[in-house]
Amino acid sequence: MIGLLKSRLHPRPTESHEPLIDEKDEAQTPNNRFLQISKPLLLKVVLVFYVLFSSISLVVLGRNYNEKPYSPVNHVLSYERQALYFGEDPRFTGLPEEVDEAWDYLLEPINIRMTHDELEQSRATFTDEIVQLTDGGYVSVLSVHHELHCLDALRRNIYYSYYYPNATEAERRYSVMHMSHCVDTIRRSLMCKADIAVYTAYWIGDHDAFPNKELRSNSDRICVNWEAIDGWARTRLLPKDKYKVKPGPFEKALKGN
């Protein structure tokens, strides 16, 4: 009886007694309604700040990548539009006796004088091994002249017996090692600067002819003004066999013995 009475006073919950969503919504406090309204607004604010922050970050990163690394030559650089291909330059292509003078002049300012401050800004490491000039400054080389030196070395190796008629076996082995270094130096430079002007292939003979195709182009590309770089380098030129350097640590060590 007591159990029956309790069940009548407190009926078991059924679906008809469960609270409905609408009833819950109607019972919301003002604070709950404010939170519901503010959540979409908060999400929009977060998205706006995210987009703004991302845009600023991309601009800053892009600026860092586009800024030129320091070089004492930066202030003289200028650029010009040039045809991609206009035939071989006869000054630099041909037999040794026909082109040596042009190559020698091109590479004349390979060794140049730079100051301590310029090398410091170029992130040089100052050790006892650095080559110093007796009248001040340091022996330095622009990367482009190093690459041209490598290209000239490859050219000379085409006519190896002409340039090195009395080369020893050790010198020949060194030459092979040097040429491997030069090939990789030029490869890295070409891939770094990546000229993306376009050539097109054309037939110049039938299938059995050799050669039977060639590349031609009417494309343009943007090039540095070489005369500006060459002119700057010549103001720092160290004439071959005429400049003097301070003794290095290896000579000092020999004298100490």
DSSP string across 155-210: HHHHTHHHH-TT--HHHHHHHHHHHHHHHHHHHHHHHHH------EEEE-S-TTSS
CA 199 – CA 26 distance, rounded (Å)? 74
Q: Model pTM?
A: 0.73
Number of alpha helices (DSSP H) and beta strands (DSSP E) in the chain: 10, 6
**DSSP H or E stretch at residue 83:** strand 79-83
- The pLDDT tens digits for 50-105 are 556 555 655 544 555 568 899 999 999 999 999 998 788 999 999 999 999 999 99
Angle between helices 143-158 and 96-106 (to 10 degrees): 170
Q: DSSP of 231-249, one letter per residue?
A: HHHHTSB--TTT--B---H
Q: In whole angstroms, give the CA distance from residue 178 to residue 172.
A: 10
Element (H, E) at 45: helix 30-66
Report CA 100 to chain centroid distance, whole Å: 32
pLDDT class of 182 with cuts at 50, 70, 90: very high
Contact 151, 182 (CB under 8 A): yes
